[in-house]
Structure formats: structure tokens, C-alpha cells
Structure 1
Amino acid sequence: MTKTVAVIGAGIVGVSTAIWLQRDGHKVILIDRAGPGEGTSHGNGGVLASCSVVPVPAPGLLSQAPRMLLDPNQPLFLKWRYLPRLAPWLVKYLRHANAPAVRRRAAAATNIIGDSYNDHLALSAGTGAETWLHPADYIYVYNDRAHYDASAFGFDVRRENGFSWEVLEGAAWKDYDPIFAPDLGCAAVFGGHGRISDPGQYVKALAKHVVAMGGRQILGEVTDVVRANGAVSGLRVGGETIACDAAVLTTGVWSTDLARKLGVNPPLESERGYHLELYGPSVMPRAPVMIASGKFVATPMEGRLRLAGIVEFGGLDAPPSRAPFDLLRKQIRAAIPGLSWKKEVEWMGHRPSMADSLPVIGESPVVKGAYMGFGHDHVGLTGGPKTGRLLSQLISGNTPNISLAPYAPDRFH
């Protein structure tokens, strides 16, 4: 049965959902207050990081966090005035910093992001967006073997979920990519990954395809869900009601207000992410790299190198801080000593961080026809296509081939 489905939010999750809905025979209305690919999807690290199934709250975080917050060379920042508002969420978040919770999250995350490159290939085929999609290794770079061995728990969890990698040291690592500093002497190389060479343009191209296939695009903010007999009948956009048979909420960290109107109170917080783009770099890494000591990613992009990472808690309203940009600059100079560039662009955005580090994917427990897909943490770009496909299957009345229980919208009661 053909439905008219309104997708709220035109980031990677929203446009992925829209494309799969169209392929499943539905009519689509894509609504965004700023336009496609203008938010978090624009500024992410650009890596299809399938192996990134280990969440930030891992064993040891509770003891490490205070030291990290007080050390300006560590990639964790906090706007202290925000702490009273953050505290209730933070308590829930830190409760998951244990091995059983990490293993549960990793297994559930693998079902969403574990085959991301192929998920993106399937999504982008025939859309014109595939020009931005590239196969690539993904590399974790360490100071030495002991530094790598200190991350054994995370690698054990990855192995348990089917990931494999090659450890390169010394000459073998230099042969793979000679541009890194001598004191970065060990690397874990994961094959079968991918990268997007311009995430903002990629999402825009996917959205353009939605319109080319008959989708309607609306610039505006959805303020309410209109119901009839307990089911979605439309959306309020400005002073207008847009009629629809179903609606999907995919607005990332801005999803809380509408989610509450749909009977869900997600423990969702902004994890402020920073990126620094270096245009005209003198050298470029062979593949996307995670510099483990600084917890930041350097990804080759179109004509530039994007550095992305840093965790800052400070809410949605505070302006960007200077220190994270300065730290990224300092870290890349240390990691690639010969690097120079012609100009740089700074950006700060908001990752939607759930207290249990898993997204919300599913139907509202109280409003029939209202669906949600948000809260993907650091891996929204990576998990967008699979999330969109799952949501389209649900809306079409088809049963997904994985259990959606770990992502259930009603799991917070």
C-alpha cells in the first residue's frame, strides 16, 4: 500500500530513509529547517567507520575523565556552567562504562554499522551521489606496540563482532604510509571500510535525487504532529498543516521535543564535535586515520584534509570554544611533521549522544504511524543507510532481519 510519508530532518538518516521509502513505493515529503546536509551530516569525519562499535563510555572512563578534563592536551572538554544541566544525563551515561554494557552496545551497533560501505553503495547507486563514495582502509595509529596493547579490550570486542585487522610496526608501517612522525610506530589497519570525500555534498546529492524521483522538499520547522484516532494525520510546519499517512523523526540532537510529544523521553545530549579543514595540504594520508593518543580522525577529502574529533559537553546554545581547534592544530603538526596547508576552515556541530550509546529506531509507543531514527552518537554517517532501510521496512509492513529491541523507542521507561 502506497503511503505519503513525511521525513523530518534531511541529514544522512533522513535522506537515506526517504530514498528507501521511494524505492519501496511510497511518496515522500522531506522537511528540514536549514536544508539537506547542513547540520551534523555536513561536518562529520567522513569515515564509514564500521569497526567503531566500542562506545566512549568504556571501562576506566570514570577514573580517567577528571584527569582528562583538567589536561588541555586531552580531547575531552566541558563548559563547566553547563554541568548542572548535564549531570542527570551524565550519571546515566557513566553507568554504561562497564564491560557488559560495552559488549551489548557493540553487538547492537554492529548490526547497524558493520557493513557500512556496502550499505552506502546500495543507497547511492544511481543517485549521482556515488561520486563521493570511496573504498578505503581505516587505521588506528599508536605510539608503539605497548600503546596498542593498552587498547586490548576494545580490540577484543571488535574481534567478537567479526572484525579483523592487521598490525603494522616499524618498516612495515613506514612502507604503508611514510608521512607520519617517527614516534607513531604502530598501526592497526582495518580493510573493507570506506570514506565520503565531501559529506555535505553527498547528502545534498542524495536529497536532490529524492526530489528528482518525485519527492517534495519543504524548508521549515516542524512544531507538532497532528493526530486522528491515535495515528499520524499530518505535521504542523509554521502555520500550515502538511497531510501525511506516516512521519519519521530524524533530526539528531534536536529530536527531543518532538519525541516527547510522541511518548518518548530520550536521554539525549549534544556531544559537541569540532572539525578543522586544511585546504591544499602538502601531503595526504593514504587512508583515514584515527590518531589514538588524540582521539581524532584525519580523513582525505576533496582538495583538503579534514580533522575531526574532540568531545565537548556544553549544550546546544554556547558558541564554539577555541581550545579544541588549537588542540587539533597542535596534534596534526605532531602526527605529520612535514604537513603545511594554504588555508583552513573551522566548524563545530552537535553529535546526538544517547546515554546508552545506541540510536532510537522504531515506532512511537503511543502514536501509530510516527517513527524515529536518531541518536547515532559518533557514527551517524556510518549508520544512516541501514537505519533508513530499517525504517522503510517498518513503514512498509515488512519485518527486518535483525532484532530492533536494542533501539526500541520505549526502552527508557
Structure 2
Amino acid sequence: MTGFPHASKTATIIGAGMVGLATAWFLQERGYQVTVLDKTGPAAGSSWGNAGWLTPAKILPLADTSLWTYGPTALFNPDAALSVPPRFEPALWGFFAQFMAHATPRAWDRTMAGLVPLAQSCLDAFDEIDATIPVALQSRPTPFVAAFEKKAEAHGFLKEIDGVRRHGIPAELSEITNVDDYAPMLSDRISLAYRLDGQRFIEPGPYVIALAEAIENRGAQLRWGINVTRVRPASSANHAPTVLCESGEEIISEQVVIANGAWLPGLAREHGVRLPVKAGRGYSFSVATDTPAEHPVYLPYHRVACTPYQGRFRIAGTMEFRGPDEPLHPRRIEAIIRNTKPLMRGIDFNERYDEWVGSRPVTPDGLSLVGRTRTEGVFVAGGHGMWGIALGPATGKALAKLMETGVAPPEIAPCYPLR
């Protein structure tokens, strides 16, 4: 059994993705002695292979009214961006029904209002963390390119931009006259493109690994290969929560944060967190381009996000509702290629690197789960869906304040885990 009997403030973080590590970083800012546990290592889950977008103007509810026309069709289209396996799985279909129930204008506005406080603070939180990250890996401001084959395809994207502006999020949008100046890998089939300013991106895997190193350099204990089986509440014998490990080890600290992504329900349910979290799995791979990619590219109609990544071009997409530990399905990679290949040039799609699937934690109402549970000293941080990278630092900063002061900042008030 291990603990910190001489430290005034101790915390154990379960999960070494962006959310867990950012929480650890901001707890260190408040003088905590921090231990981070993960069954694999930093950025091993959905923090590794995503697009790395830090885009307040694109932090949106996943469920919108278009799902009522797109969703049913997608269920029977193996190439659709949205994928739900055609098998008998009552819990998954029950979740999907709740998810679809939020695809209304009123629910969209309600969820968007809940996302705004974290979205508005996300870039400032990155500024704080960037100070301890190598310059080459820090968040980078750059124009984002949104491209369309046909003008009619832009309707949904422009509606989303209007929606975020209506909720107070700046979205600097202008039409691009020469697409080659920003995205030379796009083919002549692209007839319309917009430039979205005021956003940033990172290379997520290297950034999160660098964040882990920064936390360790500041005195944290980082322990990999630790499979946590339970967080036991405080008792008369131990006056603090205890993290139980598969190995039999018990780790005691004053506070515990469950931040293990799509696996969160397995540990958090005992502590009163009942809202379901399902794995909305995303896929990505990277390719070389004849002309080096400098700016992120978004193909909204096909729901594909592309980002410069270590000298190549990362192409990411799909929302596949399956178990978080199921293997990669090559057909989903092939579907992304079929949808994007005609819109690109100067790319050999047969030479792919870093094929990946990651389990993004999705809630049915589109809001995260951040805050205290019904168990004293036990907190959760997760359920960010596609936005764990972008919202991770802002989440960690707000949660660290709650853990020290007992007062929930307004940024996470809509994310109350016991709702």
C-alpha cells in the first residue's frame, strides 16, 4: 500500500490522455503532489490519433437536426461517417435513441449553451500549458480551410457557424478565391472554400507525451501498466479514497480523478455517475503530399478533418459506435478513402502511415462529465466526445479549482456528473 502521509494535498489521476494530464498539470499549479496511472501510457487512447484541432468555432453538439435525415440512411450505408453496428445490443441502441432525442433545435441550443463556457476558455488554458511544452510542439494558430465540391453542400457548415456566433463564439470566416494558396492537395472538384481564422491546432500524440514529461519533471509520479479495477470510498480504516489495482496494490490519496475516457463508466458508476458514456470511435491515418501541407483542411460534407502531422497529412473521420476495445475495422479506413480521394490530388492513398482507431467518450446529451461524484474525494473528468483535446486543459484548470476550493467554476457547471 502506498500513500503520501507527509503531503498536505495529494491526488491520483486515472488516465493519461489530454484530460487527465491537464488536470494533473493544473493541480500541480495549486501545490498538489500528483500520481498519474494508466494501463498503457500517455496518449495511448483517443488523445493520440485525432486531428488535434483547437477550434472554439467548431466545438458543437454532436446531435443536430440533420441526423433525422442523415442518421437512418447512414445505418444502411457502410461508407457513411456515422456507423452503428447492425447487431442486437440493447444498451447501445438505448444510448443511440437518447442521442437522437437531442437532435432537435431546442436541444442543440441547450447543449451549445453548456459547451460555450469551456470553449471560450480553451485557448487561454493552452497558453498556460504551452509555457512548459517544447516550442516546436506548442499550439499553432493557422487558417483552417473548409472545402466543398458543390455550393449546396456548404449549407450545414454555414448554419453551424451562424449557431456558434449566436452563442457568442467568434468565427472569422471568409471565402477563399484561390484554394491552391492554402490547400494545394485539394483537387479541381472543389468549387467553394472558406478560411476560418482565430483557431489553432497541435500534433496531439507528441504534445500529450511532452505534457506527461513536463508533469513528471515538476515532480509527479507517472506509472504505466497499472490496470485500475475500483476506486474504494473512504472508510474508518482509511480516511481517503483508495485506488485498487489489478495487481493487488492499493494507492491512497486525498482525492481521486477518474479520467479514463470511454472506460469511465466502469469506475464511476459506483460513485453515482449514471449517465451512459459510449465509445464514438474515430479513425485516422497519415499520407505524404506532393506539396507539404501547412493548414488544416475540413471536408464538412464528408465529416473528414485533416491536419499537418510530422511532415505528412493526417486524415481523420467517422463516428463509429462500437465497444472501446474492439479492433480496428479496415472498412472504415477504406470508407474515408473512398469519400476523400476524388477531392484530393498528389497523394498516394496506398502508402498510409499510422492507421489508428480511438475510442472517444460520448454522452447522449453532448455535454461532458466534469466534477464531484457522490463519494467524498472522488471526481470525474470525461465525456468530451470529439473535443477532449481542445477542452482538456480548460477542463483540468476548472476541475483543479473545484478540487482545491470546493466551488465549481462556471465553466464546468453544465457538466455536473450526477445530472
- With the shorter chain as reference, the TM-score category is over 0.9
Tell me the equivalent position of 1:164: 171
Partner of 1:212: 217
Identity of aligned pairs, percent?
A: 28
Residues 129 and 206 in structure 1, CA contact (< 8 A), matched pair in contact too: no
Distance 2:241 2:280 in 1: 33
Q: Which residue, 235, 246, 258 being the options, matches 2:267? A: 258
The one-letter amino acid of 2:274's match is N
2:341 aligned partner: 333
In the alignment, structure 1 residue 236 sits paired with structure 2 residue 241: no
**Counterpart residue number, 1:56:** 62
Cα–Cα, structure 1 residues 151 and 212, in superposed 2: closer, same or farther, change >3 Å? closer
Q: 1:167, 1:186 within 8 Å by CA — same for their partners in 2?
A: no
2:134 pairs with 1:125: no
**Unpaired segments of 5 or more residues in structure 1?**
none
Measure the CA separation in 1 of the matches of 2:352 and 2:49.
17
| The one of 167, 190, 200 aligned to 1:194 | 200
Cα deviation for residue 82 of structure 1 reads 5.2
Contact 2:183 2:297 in 1 (8 A): no
Equivalent residue number for residue 268 of structure 1: 277
Matches within 5 A, 1:302-341: 302-340=310-348
Structure 2 CA distance for partners of 1:138 and 1:109, relative to 1, 3 Å: farther
What residue is the counterpart of 1:147 in the other structure?
153
What is the one-letter code of the residue matched to 1:263? G
Q: Which residue of 1 aligns with 2:4?
A: none
Q: Does 1:391 align with 2:396?
A: no
Q: What TM-score do you get using the length of structure 2 for normalisation?
A: 0.91
Alignment of 1:322-401 (within 5 A): 322-340=330-348, 342-364=351-373, 366-397=374-405, 399=407, 401=409
RMSD: 2.1
Work out the number of aligned pairs and report it: 407
Work out whether residues 55 and 390 of structure 2, in 8 Å CA contact, stay in contact via their aligned partners in 1. Answer: yes
Which stretch shows the higher mean deviation, 285-294 or 385-394? 285-294
TM-score by length of 1: 0.92
Whichever residue aligns with residue 242 of structure 2, its letter is G
Other structure's SS at 1:337 match: coil
1:284 deviation in Å?
3.7
The letter of the residue matching 1:215 is A
Query: Which whole-Å deviations, capped at 9, do the CAs of 1:113-165 have from their partners, x for residues lacking one?
Result: 33433321211212437624322222322224332234443222111132222
AA of the residue aligned to 1:9: G
Runs (5+) with no aligned partner, structure 2: 1-6
Alpha-carbon displacement from aligned partner over 1:37-64 (angstroms, at most 9, x marks no partner):
1111111111112222322210131232
Shift in alpha-carbon separation, 1:185–1:400, aligned structure 2, 3 A = farther
Instruction: Please say if residues 268 and 353 of structure 1, whose CA atoms lie closer than 8 Å, have aligned partners that are also in contact.
Output: yes
CA–CA distance in structure 1, aligned partners of residues 146 and 140 of structure 2: 19
Opposite residue 101 of structure 2, the aligned amino acid is R
Q: 1:286 to 1:200 in 2, by over 3 A?
A: closer
Please list the CA deviations of residues 79-125 of structure 1 after superposition, one character each: whole Å capped at 9, or x if unmatched.
Answer: 21254331111111111001111112112212213343332121121
Distance 2:230 2:105 in 1: 40
- Which has the higher mean CA deviation after the structures are superposed, 393-402 or 36-45? 393-402
SS of 1:218 mapped into structure 2: strand
The code of the aligned residue for 1:179 comes to M
